[in-house]
C-alpha cells in the first residue's frame, strides 16, 4: 500500500524526534552541499508564491537543485490563471497532477496551505500563510539554535518587535514550547502575541504566561510590558519571583528580532512612531552579553548596521542555513531519506462542518477570502464546555450553541448533552436562531437526547 502523503502545513505536523532527525540530515547536507544531487533526480518542485519572497523561495529552489531535482516557479501570481479567477484548489490540483512532485506555497490568506493540502495529490509545504504560520522558517530557526547552543530544551529566548502579525513568531513559539524552552516576549507596544496564540500555549503545551522583570535587558525592554512564557507551574515560579517585579530574566541564550509586518497592518492599528531598535549599545545589557542575535530577514532599521560584524549576530548564517534544512525537508517529504523515528505527537484532527454557515469570522481566513471549494473546518480545543478553533486560521470560533448532525438537536455548548456529541457529528452555531434556521430543534431532554 502506498503510504499517505505527508504535508508540512504546521510545525505540529512533525514530532520532536522527526525535527531532531531533520537537523542531523541538514548537518550532513551542509558538510558538502554539492554532494547530494543523486537523491532527487527527475523530481520537480513547484513554487507557488502569491506573496513576495526572496530567501524562502530561493532557498527552496536552491535546495531542490542541489538534490538533483528541477524547479518550476510561479513567483508572480498576477501573471497566472489566478488573475483570471482560478481558485487555489483548482491551481493545486492542476500543478499536483503531472507538473510537479512537491508544492511550496506562500499565500496571503491564513489557512491557505491547509486548504491546498486537502486537494493536492503531492506534498504541500507551507512557505507562509498570512499572519498564521511559517513552519520551514521555524525549522531553520530551531536548527540554528541547535547548532549554536547545542540544545533547545531549557534555553532562554527573547522575542522582540512585532509579535502580533509575524507568522514566523507564531510557529516559533509553538515549537519552542514543545521543546521546553523559556520565552521572554518584549513586543513593540500594541503588537503583542495574539490572544489565540497565548491561549493555545497555555492549554496545549502547559506554558504559563507571567510578568517578567526585564530590568537586566536594559533599553531593549524599556518601553515594553515583558512577559515570561515558561513551562514551569505557578507554584514553581514563586520560588524565583521577587515580590511584584515578576520573573527575573537573568541570562539570555538568543534574541530574536522581527521587523514591523506593515503589509498586514489594519486600519485599527495605531501608527508606529518609534520602533524597537537593536544596536551594540542595547546588546551591552547584562543578560544579553552571551546571546546570539537572530532575525528572519528582511530587516529595516530594527537591527543597526553596527551589529553586522558583532560575533553574536548570526542572521546571515541563519539565512544560509535555510538551504540544508530545506534540503532535508524536501528529501524527507519526497521519500528520499528515512528519519527512522516516530511520527506526529500532537492531535491535529480536523472535522468538517456538516451543516450551518461558516463559523469563522476572521476576515483574512482562507475560508472567507476563497469561498469556492472551501468546506469550513474546526479542531476541538475542549469538550466541556465545547470550544473549537478554526481548522484553517486557528482563531477560536464563537459557538455558544452546538448541534448534532444525526439527532438534529441543538444544545448549549456547556451542557452535558453537548459533551456527548461525537466530534464528527458536531455542528457549531453562533445562536439558537441560526440553529433553527438550519433545521435543528431544541432537545426535549438535554441530559439524554444525544
Task: Dump pLDDT digits (tens) for 400-433.
Answer: 999 999 999 999 999 999 989 998 899 999 899 9
Q: What is the dihedral angle through the alpha carbons of 157, 158, 161, 163, rounded to the nearest 10 degrees?
A: 50
Q: What is the pLDDT of residues 248-298, one digit of tens each?
A: 788 899 999 998 887 777 777 777 778 888 888 888 888 888 999 999 888
Write down the pTM of the prediction. 0.88
Please check whether residue 257 is in contact with residue 160, taking contact to mean a CB–CB distance below 8 angstroms: yes
The predicted model gives 118-124 an average pLDDT of: 96
Active site residue 38: no
Residue 446 has pLDDT above 70, yes or no: no
Q: Which of 7, 106, 178, 326 is catalytic?
A: 106
**What's the rounded Cα separation, in Å, for the pair 150 and 412?**
50
Question: Is 84 an annotated catalytic residue?
Answer: yes
Residue that is written with C-alpha cell 499517505 in the block: 4
**CA 299 centroid distance within chain:** 20
**From 2, 34, 78, 84, active-site residue:** 84
Q: For residue 161, list its beta bridge partners.
A: 187
pLDDT of residue 243: 46
From the list 25, 57, 107, 134, the catalytic residue is 134
pLDDT reported for residue 237: 45
> What contacts 273, CB < 8 A, 6 or more positions away?
none
Least confidently predicted of 99-108, 338-347, 378-387: 338-347
Write down the catalytic residue from 5, 6, 20, 55. 55
Cβ–Cβ under 8 Å, residues 184 and 252: yes
pLDDT tens string 354-384: 777 888 999 999 999 998 889 899 998 888 8
Out of 25, 56, 168, 368, which one is annotated catalytic?
56
pLDDT band at 449 (very low <50, low <70, confident <90, very high): very low
* 161 SS3 class: strand
Distances (CA, A) of 41 to 36, 69, 271: 10, 5, 50
106 catalytic? Reply is yes
Q: What pairing do the DSSP bridges indicate for beta strands 102-107 and 386-390?
A: unpaired
pLDDT value at 232 more than 80: no
Q: Which domains does the chain have, with CATH numbers?
A: 11-134+322-333 (3.40.50.1370), 136-317 (3.40.50.1370), 351-442 (2.30.30.20)
Q: Quote the cell numbers at residue 116.
A: 491546498
Residue (of 286, 243, 327, 256) closest to 37 by Cα position: 327
Sign of the Cα torsion 437, 438, 444, 446 reads negative
CB 384 within 8 A of CB 417: no
Question: Torsion angle, CA of 438/444/449/450, rounded to 10 degrees?
Answer: 20
- Give the three cell numbers for residue 360: 469563522
Amino acid at each position: 500500500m502506498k503510504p499517505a502523503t505527508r504535508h508540512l502545513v504546521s510545525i505540529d505536523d512533525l514530532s520532536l524526534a522527526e525535527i531532531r532527525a531533520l537537523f542531523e540530515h541538514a548537518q550532513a547536507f551542509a558538510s558538502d552541499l554539492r554532494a547530494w544531487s543523486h537523491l532527487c533526480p527527475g523530481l520537480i518542485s513547484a513554487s507557488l508564491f502569491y506573496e513576495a519572497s526572496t530567501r524562502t523561495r530561493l532557498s527552496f529552489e536552491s535546495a531542490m537543485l542541489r538534490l538533483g531535482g528541477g524547479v518550476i516557479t510561479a513567483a508572480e501570481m498576477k501573471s497566472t490563471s489566478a488573475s483570471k479567477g482560478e481558485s487555489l484548489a483548482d491551481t493545486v490540483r492542476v500543478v499536483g497532477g503531472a507538473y510537479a512532485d512537491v508544492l511550496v506555497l506562500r499565500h496571503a490568506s491564513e489557512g491557505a496551505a491547509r486548504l491546498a493540502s486537502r486537494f493536492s495529490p503531492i506534498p504541500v509545504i507551507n512557505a507562509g500563510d498570512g499572519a498564521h504560520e511559517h513552519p520551514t522558517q521555524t525549522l531553520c530557526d530551531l536548527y540554528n539554535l541547535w547548532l549554536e547552543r547545542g540544545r533547545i530544551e531549557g534555553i532562554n529566548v527573547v522575542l522582540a518587535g512585532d509579535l502580533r502579525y509575524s507568522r514566523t513568531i507564531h510557529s516559533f513559539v509553538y515549537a519552542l514550547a514543545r521543546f521546553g524552552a523559556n520565552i521572554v516576549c518584549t513586543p513593540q507596544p500594541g503588537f503583542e502575541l495574539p490572544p489565540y496564540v497565548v491561549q493555545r500555549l497555555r492549554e496545549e503545551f502547559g506554558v504559563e504566561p507571567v510578568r517578567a522583570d526585564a530590568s537586566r535587558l536594559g533599553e531593549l525592554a524599556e518601553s515594553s510590558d515583558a512577559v515570561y512564557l515558561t513551562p514551569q507551574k505557578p507554584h514553581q515560579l514563586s520560588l524565583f519571583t521577587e515580590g511584584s517585579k515578576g520573573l527575573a530574566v537573568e541570562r539570555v541564550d538568543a534574541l530574536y528580532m522581527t521587523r514591523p509586518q506593515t503589509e498586514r497592518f489594519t486600519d485599527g492599528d495605531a501608527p508606529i512612531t518609534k520602533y524597537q531598535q537593536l544596536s551594540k549599545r542595547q546588546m551591552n545589557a547584562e543578560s544579553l552579553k552571551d546571546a546570539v542575535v537572530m532575525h528572519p530577514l528582511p530587516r529595516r532599521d530594527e537591527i543597526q548596521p553596527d551589529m553586522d560584524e558583532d560575533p553574536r549576530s548570526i542572521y546571515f548564517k541563519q539565512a544560509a542555513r535555510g538551504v540544508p534544512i530545506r534540503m532535508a525537508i524536501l528529501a524527507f517529504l519526497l521519500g528520499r531519506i528515512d528519519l527512522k523515528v516516530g511520527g506526529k505527537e500532537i492531535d491535529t484532527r480536523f472535522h468538517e462542518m456538516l451543516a450551518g454557515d461558516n463559523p469563522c469570522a476572521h476576515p483574512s481566513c482562507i475560508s472567507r477570502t476563497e469561498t469556492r471549494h472551501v468546506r469550513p473546518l474546526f479542531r476541538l480545543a475542549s469538550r466541556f464546555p465545547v470550544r473549537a478553533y478554526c481548522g484553517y486560521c486557528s482563531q477560536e470560533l464563537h459557538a455558544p450553541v452546538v448541534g448534532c448532525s444525526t439527532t438534529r438537536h441543538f444544545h448549549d455548548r456547556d451542557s452535558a448533552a453537548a459533551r456527548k456529541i461525537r466530534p464528527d457529528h458536531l455542528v457549531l452555531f453562533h445562536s439558537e436562531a441560526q440553529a433553527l434556521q438550519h433545521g435543528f430543534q431544541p432537545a426535549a431532554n438535554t441530559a439524554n437526547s444525544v
